[in-house]
C-alpha cells in the first residue's frame, strides 16, 4: 500500500521477524535504513505521515524474552513488549507501583492499550509519554542490549524530545523497578483534553516512602512540561524528614511549578501547563499518601 502522496508506503517496507534479541541486533546492523517496531502505534503513524522513513522494519513481536512481568532479586522486571493493558492489570505492579498502573490505564483507549508497549513508550521519548514519569519516580532502570547488555537509570535515559542514550543498534530489553520499602505510596495524575485517545497536557508522578510518621524519601516527576521528564528535585527534597500535611504538600506543589519549562503547543499554552503543575502535583501527593495509609 503506497500512500496518496507517493512517498514511502507501508507496503514498500520490508518486515523482518527475528526470534531473538541477538538476531534483531544483527539485522539492525546489517540492513539499510532499518527501524525497530514493537506495537507500531507511534512508528507506523509517523511513517504514514512522512515524518520518519524506513526501508526495513524489525518487529520485536516474536521475541519471547521481551515478555513477562516478574519479581527477582528485590526488583520488578517488566519485559519491553508488555502492553499498557497487561501492566494495568498486573498484581505485582498494582501492589508495588500503582502509579505505573495509573499511567498505563490513562493511555489512549483499549485498542491502543492492547497493542502499544512499555518499550515503545519509553524508547520513543515523546515528552508527553505517560509511563516515564512514574518509572523515574520509582527509580527504574532500563536494560539495553546490543549483544552485551548495560543498565541505565531512566532518570538519565532521556536526552531530549524523542532523543535517548539508546544506541542505534541497541534494543531496550526490559525495565526494572526496585521493590519499594513498606509504607510506600505512589500515584500518577494526568490532564488531557479528552478522556480517551489524548496525550497528556501535563502528567505528574509522585512516590513517597514513610518511616515512622515522617517521609523518608520522595520523588516528584513532571511529564509534558519540558523536552524530557523532569525530576523536581527541590520539591522532592522539601518533603524529606517531614510529616505529611496539607501545607507540606502545598509547598512541594509550588516548588514543582518552579521546576517546569513548558512550551505552548496545539494542546495548551505554556502558562496553562504551569498552572496545572501544582494542582496535579498536589493531587498525586494526596493519592500517594492515601495509598500509604491503606497499607496500615
Ligand atoms: C490514538 C493514539 C493515542 C495515543 N495515546 C497515548 C497516550 O495517551 N499516552 C501515551 O503515552 N502515548 C500515547 N500514544 C502513543 C503510543 O501509543 C505509545 O507511546 C506507545 O506506548 C508506543 O509503543 P509502541 O510499542 O506502539 O511503539 P512503536 O510505535 O512500535 O515504536 C516507537 C519507537 O520506539 C522504538 N522502539 C520500540 N520498542 C523498542 C525497544 N524495545 N527498544 C528500542 N527501541 C524501541 C521504535 O523503533 C520507534 O522509534 C498514542 C498513540 C495513538 C496512535
Three-state DSSP class for residue 119: helix
CA 215 to ligand 1 centroid distance, Å: 35
pLDDT tens-digit series, residues 12-66: 899 999 999 999 999 999 999 999 999 999 999 999 999 999 999 999 999 999 9
DSSP code at position 170:
-
Neighbours of 274 (CB within 10 A): 17
Which atom from ligand 1 is nearest to the alpha carbon of 46?
29
Residue nearest atom 4 of ligand 1, based on CA coordinates: 108
- 193 pLDDT higher than 90: no
pLDDT at 138: 98
Atom of ligand 1 nearest to the CA of 112: 17
- Cβ atoms 63, 20 nearer than 8 A: yes
Report the number of secondary-structure helices (H) and strands (E) in the chain: 11, 14
Beta bridge partners of 26: none
Q: How many residues does the chain have?
A: 296
Question: What are the start-end ranges of the H helices in 167-245?
Answer: 233-239
Residue whose CA is at the smallest distance from ligand 1 atom 28: 40
- In this prediction, residue 5 carries a pLDDT of 41
Where do you find CATH 3.30.43.10 in the chain?
10-59
Ligand 1 pocket, 43 CB below 6 A?
A: yes
Most ligand 1 atoms within 8 A of CB, residue of 37, 190, 201 to mutate: 37
pLDDT for 4 beyond 60: no
Write the pLDDT tens digit of every residue in 202-225. 999 999 999 999 999 999 999 999
- Does residue 36's CB lie within 6 angstroms of at least one atom of ligand 1? yes
pLDDT band at 8 (very low <50, low <70, confident <90, very high): low
Residue 173 near residue 143, CB atoms below 8 Å? yes
Ligand 1 mean position, distance from CA 265 (Å): 20
Atom of ligand 1 nearest to the CA of 35: 47
The reported pLDDT for the residue numbered 9 is 67
Q: Give the pTM.
A: 0.96
| Cβ-proximal residues to 201 (8 Å cutoff; 6+ apart), any chain | 128, 191, 192, 193, 224, 267, 268, 272, 273, 276
What are the tens digits of pLDDT across the range 109-167? 999 999 999 999 999 999 999 999 999 999 999 999 998 999 999 999 999 999 999 99
Q: Is the CB of 119 under 6 A from ligand 1?
A: yes
Tens digit of pLDDT for each residue in 242-290?
999 999 999 999 999 999 989 898 889 999 999 999 999 999 999 999 9
Residue span(s) of the chain under CATH 3.30.465.10 come to 64-178
CATH architecture of the domain 64-178 equals: 2-Layer Sandwich (3.30)
Q: Find out whether 79 and 59 touch, Cβ atoms under 8 Å.
A: no
Q: Which helix (H) or strand (E) holds 135?
A: helix 132-137
Q: Which fold has domain 10-59?
A: 3.30.43
Closest Cα to atom 53 of ligand 1: 41
> What's the pLDDT at 3?
39
116: closest CA among 151, 92, 80, 141? Answer: 80
Distance 180 CA to ligand 1 centre (A): 27
DSSP one-letter code for 188: E
- What is the CATH number that goes with domain 192-295? 3.30.390.50
How far apart are the C-alpha atoms of 236 and 128, rounded to whole Å?
Answer: 21
Q: Which of 102, 174, 157, 89 is nearest to 131 (CA)?
A: 102
Contact assessment for residue 142 and residue 231, using Cβ atoms and an 8 Å cutoff: no
pLDDT at res. 33 = 95
Average pLDDT of span 221-249: 97
Please work out whether the CB of residue 123 comes within 6 Å of at least one atom of ligand 1: yes
Helix, strand, coil % over all residues of the chain, rounded to 5: 35, 25, 35
Whether 237 and 216 have beta carbons less than 8 Å apart is answered as no
Cell of 157: 535515559
Comma-separated ranges of CATH 3.30.390.50 domains in the chain: 192-295
Q: In what order do the strands lie in the sheet with 75-79?
A: 69-72, 75-79, 171-178, 141-145, 149-153
pLDDT confidence of residue 6? 41
Q: How far apart are CA 265 and CA 50, in angstroms?
A: 20
Given a cut of 50, whether residue 168 has pLDDT beyond it is: yes
Alpha carbon distance, N-terminus to C-terminus of the chain: 58
179 has pLDDT over 60: yes
Count of other CB atoms within 10 angstroms of residue 168: 9
Amino acid at each position: 500500500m503506497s500512500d496518496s502522496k507517493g512517498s514511502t508506503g507501508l507496503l514498500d517496507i520490508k518486515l523482518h521477524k527475528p526470534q531473538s534479541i541477538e538476531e534483531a541486533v544483527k539485522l539492525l546492523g546489517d540492513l539499510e535504513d532499518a527501524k525497530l517496531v514493537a506495537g507500531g502505534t507511534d512508528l507506523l503513524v509517523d511513517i504514514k505521515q512522512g515524518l520518519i522513513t524506513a526501508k526495513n522494519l524489525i518487529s520485536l513481536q516474536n521475541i519471547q524474552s521481551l515478555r513477562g512481568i516478574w519479581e527477582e532479586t528485590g526488583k520488578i522486571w517488566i519485559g519491553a513488549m508488555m502492553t499498557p493493558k497487561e501492566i494495568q492489570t498486573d498484581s505485582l505492579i498494582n501492589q508495588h507501583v500503582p502509579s505505573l498502573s495509573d499511567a498505563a490505564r490513562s493511555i489512549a483507549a483499549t485498542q491502543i492499550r492492547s497493542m502499544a508497549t512499555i518499550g515503545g513508550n519509553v524508547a520513543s521519548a515523546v515528552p508527553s509519554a505517560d509511563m516515564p514519569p512514574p518509572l523515574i519516580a520509582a527509580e527504574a532502570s532500563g536494560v539495553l542490549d546490543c549483544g552485551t547488555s548495560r543498565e541505565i537509570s531512566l532518570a538519565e535515559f532521556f536526552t531530549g524530545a524523542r532523543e535517548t542514550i539508546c544506541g542505534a543498534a541497541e534494543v531496550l530489553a526490559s525495565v526494572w523497578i526496585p521493590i519499594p520499602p513498606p509504607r510506600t505510596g505512589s500515584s500518577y495524575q494526568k490532564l488531557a483534553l479528552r478522556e480517551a485517545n489524548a496525550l497528556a497536557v501535563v502528567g505528574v508522578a509522585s512516590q513517597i516512602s514513610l518511616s515512622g510518621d515522617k517521609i523518608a524519601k520522595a520523588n516528584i516527576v513532571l511529564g509534558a512540561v519540558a523536552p524530557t521528564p523532569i525530576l523536581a528535585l527541590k520539591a522532592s527534597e522539601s518533603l524529606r524528614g517531614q510529616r505529611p500535611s496539607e501545607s507540606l504538600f502545598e509547598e512541594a506543589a509550588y516548588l514543582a511549578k518552579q521546576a517546569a519549562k513548558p512550551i505552548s503547543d496545539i494542546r495548551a499554552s505554556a502558562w496553562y501547563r504551569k498552572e496545572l503543575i501544582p494542582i496535579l502535583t498536589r493531587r498525586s501527593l494526596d493519592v500517594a499518601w492515601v495509598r500509604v495509609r491503606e497499607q496500615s
